[in-house]
Amino acid sequence: MHGNFLDFVDVSNLSQPITFPTHKLGNTLDLIVTNMDIDGPDIDPSPSDHFIISATIPVHVDNIPLDTRISKLFYKFEQADLPQIELQTDKLHDSISQKIESNQPIELIWNEFKNSILETSKQYIPNYPSKSRKKHWITRRTLTEINRRKRKKKKLRKHYSLANLIDLQTQSDYCKKLVDDDYNRYIYTLICNQLDEGSSKLLFKFISTR
């Protein structure tokens, strides 16, 4: 079976770039089979006895017109036209109720519900397109430790050893703790305080990064 698999990869012009152990016992069990040049692969510790395998696949978008690229909208709910939204949802309720009574296909009912909600939101809730997805709540100290984790990850990739793996796991746990602390501090000391004062600006700024 092993030989047949290698023959299939070869005759199909595929490649298998995993050349390092992917299991805690030192075996290479998890593979990536591809017909593209990829960035990586990399490994990360995991709670399982298998490591996490990650790689970056190149996607060329230079020739895609800008107006066809997906842009996420963020809504300013505090400025919503609530009377109009209530009116539109009442109309939607009546329309869907009629379709249910006449045994219309569920796909038709669902599409009407979804499209009506989206259209009403765009029309009666001010919005703006997505900008930077920078996580404003992450502190400089945490960013420094995350960059240190990246360097340890590169070191493990170049020189695989149990000591380097444990070092990366320790740094990963530390980064997770720092991120959790930053998250909780931002929520409780900034957002909640501003909400108490009647301002929701930071709350929606935070939501835009999630």
Amino acid identity at 17: P
The CA R_g of the chain, rounded to the nearest whole Å, is 25
d(CA 173, CA 149): 10
20: exposed, middle or buried (Cβ count in 10 Å: 0-12, 13-18, 19+): middle
Q: Identify the CA nearest to 30 among candidates 165, 41, 39, 38.
A: 41
- The answer to whether residue 71 scores a pLDDT higher than 70 is no
The whole-model pTM stands at 0.36
pLDDT tens per residue, range 32-44 = 888 877 777 777 7
Residue 96 has pLDDT above 80, yes or no: yes
Q: At 2, list the tokens.
A: 């092993």
Supply the pLDDT for residue 87. 92
- 121 by Cβ neighbours in 10 Å (0-12 / 13-18 / 19+) ranks as middle
- Residue 159 confidence class, pLDDT cut points 50, 70, 90: confident
CA separation for the pair 175, 169 (Å, rounded): 10
Mean pLDDT in residue range 106-126: 89
Per DSSP, the three-state class of 96 is: helix
**28-42, 61-75, 174-188: least confidently modelled range:** 61-75
pLDDT of residue 76: 83
- Report the percent of the chain where pLDDT is more than 90: 14
pLDDT level of residue 174 (50, 70, 90 thresholds): very high
- The tens digit of pLDDT for each residue in 40-69 reads 777 777 778 888 888 777 765 555 444 444
DSSP element (H, E) containing 142: helix 140-158
- Residue 30 is predicted with a pLDDT of 82
Q: What is the pLDDT of residue 193?
A: 65
pLDDT of 107 above 80 = yes
